[in-house]
Amino acid sequence: MSKILLIGCGHMGTALLMSWLNLKAYSFTVVDPYNFIKLKKQFKSKKINILKKTPNQKDMKTFDIIIFAVKPQNANDVLNEYENFELKKNALIGSIIAGKKINFFKKRIKNTNQFVRIMPNMPALIRNGISCFVSRSNLSLNNKKKLNELFLQVGKTVWLKSENQIDKATAVSGSGPGYIFTLIHAFEKAAQKLGFSKSQSRDLISSTMLGSILLIQETRKEPNELAKEIAVKGGTTEAGIKNLQNNNIDKIIFKTYISAYNRAKLLGKKN
């Protein structure tokens, strides 16, 4: 049985934990001082040890994997609480915290050399996420196997080569669901302005989104090829697409990624 300590159990921590619970080979301990009561209620019937404060030295030495899932703004204070513990041999330190580099953890947690950065995304909650990883080359095969086992529970896994790439993945897939929800909200508001009800708008737009993604997957055609097939000359789709292009949709999307990427780099520089 591998023992996992999850430090911080907010939106992302909860999404991961929900899918991990049926894994028989793992046991879970969660530390979240501010949401202790809520988590106790939420996971009442489940076999999770929920703690209000940092475990003691004796317990810390029993964990095989320690995952930091707090906000970047809290990372420094939280790490201060964990830096002096002696850990189990080959204990794996994982972090899903945006921007924070492996060195940030390595500088503080001295008695293991097993570190990994993970960037999951919110659809993990329904096991349809994608998680990116980056580690130093010394990550043991055993730890890599466990990470794959855990994160395949919540969707796809992608191993990247550099921390720079994981900051970019943070901007693309980590933050990605946030952009998609923002776009869907804008589509829905616009459909309502045209006179559709809220529920009609939801139906029209979510079916269109989902159907379009499935069409790309099934036909394996390029999205711009599919767009061209629909946008016949002088037709309605062509008129709509022209408006997106005239307003520089490509530039808007690229700037969205760059803004998030720059933010990830900045978060990495702090502390």
Ligand X SMILES: NC(=O)c1ccc[n+]([C@@H]2O[C@H](COP(=O)([O-])OP(=O)(O)OC[C@H]3O[C@@H](n4cnc5c(N)ncnc54)[C@H](OP(=O)(O)O)[C@@H]3O)[C@@H](O)[C@H]2O)c1
The C-alpha atoms of residue 113 and residue 106 are separated, in whole angstroms, by 8
Structure tokens at 38: 């809520």
Please, which of residues 168-227 interact with ligand X by CB under 6 A?
174
| Residue 92 β-bridge partners | 65, 114
Please give the residue whose beta carbon sits closest to ligand X in the complex.
10
Q: Does 69 bind ligand X (CB under 6 A)?
A: yes
Our CB check for ligand X shows the closer of 91 and 98 to be 98
Strands 129-135 and 114-119: antiparallel
Q: Does 271 bind ligand X (CB under 6 A)?
A: no
Interface pick for ligand X out of 4, 18, 48, 119 (rule CB under 6 A): 119
Q: Does 123 bind ligand X (CB under 6 A)?
A: no
The minimum distance between CB 251 and ligand X, in angstroms, equals 25
The C-alpha atoms of residue 20 and residue 229 are separated, in whole angstroms, by 43
What number of chain residues touch ligand X (CB under 6 A)? 26
Q: Does 11 bind ligand X (CB under 6 A)?
A: yes
Contacts of 176 (CB under 8 A, 6+ apart): 121
The minimum distance between CB 177 and ligand X, in angstroms, equals 6
Q: Does 55 bind ligand X (CB under 6 A)?
A: no
C-alpha distances out from residue 270 to 22, 26, 106, 165, 263, Å: 37, 34, 15, 19, 11
Q: Does 163 bind ligand X (CB under 6 A)?
A: no
Query: Which residue in 8, 9, 14 sits closest to 154, CA to CA?
Result: 14
Q: Does 48 bind ligand X (CB under 6 A)?
A: no
Applying CB under 6 A, the residues found at the interface with ligand X are: 7-13, 31-35, 69-72, 74, 78, 96-98, 119-122, 174
